[in-house]
Each structure stands twice: as structure tokens, then as C-alpha cells.
């Protein structure tokens, strides 16, 4: 079944989507376009609860766009997204989003602790107190990403890796069940990458669901248990061992894939 799924996917054939009702996250028939050409075309994807899924594809493949449209940040031309069987807009409390780091102005006049506290907004509301209990939760989230001593730092003074950790801490503070991350490893050093993956694996161990846009093909097998290959269309989807192969990669990346990029695991197949 898995092999057939992969083959079918490689040939551009549709695979019957899994059950959106039971999935932690599901996208159906999603088409998004900024201009005369769709950035994402008719994509289905299904993420089982408790899994860790990488969304991979070349630059401009529509990975960020897919996440944004699923979260309602971008109006799709067609399609819908659900989480835990309900429309995403109805379960925002259970979803934490980590945008691409470069999407904000890090010169914004604020501190690490204030950014992380944004993750508690849905609990605080407009005028609710940022009391001891919530403060403890924010501090705990900061500690989990190893930034405890930077809590009072101005965010403009952080390194790229530290900024990424802050974004992750803000999502952790939400205490969500589904985490959607856009390139959490982009431009971070090895130590930060280790710290972040440790946090994500711990989330998975606690039964949470993680979906991350990912760029480094050499670490997919090590970090994730499922992949979605995307290049405007969905190219393949499934367990890493089956959907992440030389064929599917070639189908997703076309001429942009150097032989050296192919992961060792793939050659073995």
C-alpha cells in the first residue's frame, strides 16, 4: 500500500486522501494564487495526530503559502483546511504557528519575554492580567528553548538562532496540540538546530503533532517520520521511508536537485 502510494504520487496520480475527520491537520483541494499563476495548486495533505511531518520542496514551491492559506492568513482560490476534524478557524486555541523568522522587523522595541507573552494572548485577552501563573508559563517556555538568561533582552540584540528560539518559545507558551513551523532551522547554528529538534521531539513524545517546512534534505530522515513533497502540486506524501525517495525528490525538484543532495538512505533503495 505504501509503495503504491509513493508510485502513484510520483506519477502525479491522486491518492485517496486519508480521513480528514481523524487527522490532526488536513488540507483538501487547496489552490492559492497571488497572480496569474497558482503558487499552490489543488493540494491535499493529511497529517496524523502525534506525527512529525516535514514539508519540503524547492524555493518558491509554495510551502509557506500552503501553511498561510491553511491558517487563513491568505485567502485561497479553492480548498479548505481542518484541524482535529474542525475548520482551522474554530480550533485556533489548539494551533501554534511559527512564521518565517525573516517575516518580522527584529528592531521592534520589545523584549524576549514580551514576545513570548504574545503566545498567551488568547488566555489573557484585552485587559486580563499577565499574572504569576502566566508569567511562570512564559518563563518555562523560554527556559525550554534554553533562553532563560535572555528573557529581558531587547530582541534586536539576539542572534538569528536566538531569534528562532524566541519564536519557538512563543509557540510553546500557547501549549497547543498542533504546531505549524515555517523553516524553523533556516539560518541557525548547529547548537540551535539540536536544541530546536530536541524540543520538537519532546512535543511529539507528548502526543503533539508537528508540521515543519524544512529545507535540509540531509536531515529529513533523522528528524521526521513523515514528509510531504511540494512543488505547486503535492508530489508525494507519506512515511519518510516510502515517500522520500530519489524518484519523488526528482519529481519535486526537477533540474534543481544535485546528485549530492540525494540522501544516502535513498540510494540504498
Partner 1 sequence: MLFEALTLGLGYNASLVTLGAAALGMAAGVTGTFLYLRKRALVSDAISHATLPGIAAAFMLAVALGGDGRGLPVLLLGSAVSAALGLLAVQWLASRTRLTEDAAIGAVLSVFFGFGVVLLTVIQTLSTGRQAGLEDFLLGATAGMLRSEALLIAVGGLVTLAIVVVLRRPMLMTAFDPSHASAMGVNLTRTDIAMMGLVMAVTVVGLKIVGLILIVALLIIPPVAARFWSDRADRVVLLAGVVGGVAGWVGAAFSATAADLPTGPMIVLAAFALFCLSFLLAPGRGLMAAALRAASFRTRVHLRQGLLAIANDQPIYETLTLRLLARRGLALPDGVPTEAGRAAAARARLDEERWAIVRADPSLELAAARYDGLTPLEDVLTVDQISEIDARRPAPEALA
Partner 2 sequence: MNGAEFVSLSLPPIVIGVLVAVTCALPGNFLLLRRQALIGDAISHVVLPGIVVGFLLTGAVATWPMLLGASVAAIAAVVLIEAIRRLGQIEAGAAMGVVFTTLFAGGVLLLEQSDTSSVHLDVEHALYGNLESLIWLEATGWSSLADPAALAGLPPELFRIAGAAGLVALLLAVFWRPLKIATFDENYAAALGLPVTAISLGLVIVSAIAAVAAFDAVGSIIVIAMFICPPATARLLTDRLGAQVAWSVALAAIAAVAGFVLAGYGPLWLGGSDAVSAAGMIATVSGVLLGLAALVGPHRRPLAAQP
Ligand X SMILES: Nc1ncnc2c1ncn2[C@@H]1O[C@H](COP(=O)(O)OP(=O)(O)OP(=O)(O)O)[C@@H](O)[C@H]1O
Query: CA-CA-CA-CA torsion for 56, 264, 246, 38, nearest 10 degrees?
Result: 10
Q: Which three cell numbers stand for residue 255?
A: 533540474
Helix, strand, coil percentages for the chain (3-state, nearest 5): 45, 25, 35
| Alpha helical stretches, state H, 96-189 | 112-118, 121-124, 132-144, 160-173
Residue 251 near which of partner 1, partner 2, ligand X, none (CB within 5-8 Å, type-dependent): partner 1
- CA 99 – CA 265 distance, rounded (Å): 30
Residue of 13, 88, 17, 12 whose CA lies nearest to 238: 17
> What residues between 148 and 167 interact with partner 2 by CB under 8 A?
154, 156-157
Residue 111 near which of Mg ion, partner 1, partner 2, none (CB within 5-8 Å, type-dependent): partner 2
One of 1, 16, 59, 258 touching ligand X (CB under 6 A) = 59
Q: Which three cell numbers stand for residue 5?
A: 502510494
Residue 65 near which of Mg ion, partner 1, ligand X, none (CB within 5-8 Å, type-dependent): ligand X
Total interface residues for partner 1 by CB under 8 A: 34
Instruction: Find the part of the chain contacting ligand X (CB under 6 A) among 53-61, 126-134, 216-224, 234-242.
Output: 53-61
> What residues between 21 and 80 interact with partner 2 by CB under 8 A?
68, 71-73
CA of 138: how far to CAs of 197, 201, 226, in Å? 20, 20, 30
60 binds ligand X (CB under 6 A): yes
233 binds partner 1 (CB under 8 A): yes
> What residues between 9 and 48 interact with ligand X by CB under 6 A?
34, 39
254 binds ligand X (CB under 6 A): no
The distance of closest approach from Cβ of residue 182 to Mg ion in the complex, given in angstroms and rounded to an integer, is 6
> What residues between 62 and 91 interact with ligand X by CB under 6 A?
62-65
The conformation of residue 15, written as its DSSP 8-state character, comes to P
The distance of closest approach from Cβ of residue 71 to partner 2 in the complex, given in angstroms and rounded to an integer, is 5
Q: Which three cell numbers stand for residue 225?
A: 517520520
94 binds ligand X (CB under 6 A): no
181 binds ligand X (CB under 6 A): no
> What residues between 49 and 78 interact with partner 1 by CB under 8 A?
77-78
One of 46, 53, 64, 231 touching Mg ion (CB under 5 A) = 64
- The answer to whether 174 and 208 have CB atoms below 8 angstroms apart is no
Q: Which DSSP helix (H) or strand (E) runs through 230? A: strand 226-231
The conformation of residue 188, written as its DSSP 8-state character, comes to -
- The answer to whether 229 and 237 have CB atoms below 8 angstroms apart is yes
The footprint of partner 2 (CB under 8 A) covers 68, 71-73, 89, 92, 95, 97, 99, 103-111, 114-115, 118, 121-122, 124, 126-127, 154, 156-157, 170
The footprint of ligand X (CB under 6 A) covers 34, 39, 57, 59-65
Amino acid at each position: 500500500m505504501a509503495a503504491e502510494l509513493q508510485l502513484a504520487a510520483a506519477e502525479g496520480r491522486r491518492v485517496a486522501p486519508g480521513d480528514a475527520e481523524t487527522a490532526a491537520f488536513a488540507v483538501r483541494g487547496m489552490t492559492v494564487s497571488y497572480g496569474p499563476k497558482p503558487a499552490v495548486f489543488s493540494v491535499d495533505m493529511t497529517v496524523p495526530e502525534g506525527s512529525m511531518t516535514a514539508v519540503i520542496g524547492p524555493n518558491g514551491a509554495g510551502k509557506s503559502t500552503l501553511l498561510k492559506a491553511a491558517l487563513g492568513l491568505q485567502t485561497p482560490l479553492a480548498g479548505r483546511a481542518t484541524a482535529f476534524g474542525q475548520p482551522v478557524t474554530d480550533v485556533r486555541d489548539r494551533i501554534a504557528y511559527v512564521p518565517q523568522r525573516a517575516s518580522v522587523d527584529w528592531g521592534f522595541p520589545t523584549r524576549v519575554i514580551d514576545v513570548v507573552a504574545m503566545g498567551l494572548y488568547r488566555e489573557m485577552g484585552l485587559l486580563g492580567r499577565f499574572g504569576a501563573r502566566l508569567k511562570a508559563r512564559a518563563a518555562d517556555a523560554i527556559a525550554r528553548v534554553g533562553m532563560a538568561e535572555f528573557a529581558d533582552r531587547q530582541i534586536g540584540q539576539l542572534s538569528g538562532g536566538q531569534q528562532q528560539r524566541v519564536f519557538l518559545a512563543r509557540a510553546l507558551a500557547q501549549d497547543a496540540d498542533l504546531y505549524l513551523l515555517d523553516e524553523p532551522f533556516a539560518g541557525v547554528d548547529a547548537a540551535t538546530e539540536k536544541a530546536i529538534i530536541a524540543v520538537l521531539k519532546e512535543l511529539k513524545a507528548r502526543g503533539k503533532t508537528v508540521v515543519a517546512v524544512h529545507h535540509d534534505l540531509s536531515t529529513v530522515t533523522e528528524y521526521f517520520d513523515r514528509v510531504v513533497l511540494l512543488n505547486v502540486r503535492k508530489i508525494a506524501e507519506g512515511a519518510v521511508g516510502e515517500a522520500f525517495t530519489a524518484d519523488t525528490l526528482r519529481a519535486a525538484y526537477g533540474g534543481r536537485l544535485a546528485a549530492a543532495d540525494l540522501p544516502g538512505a535513498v540510494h540504498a533503495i
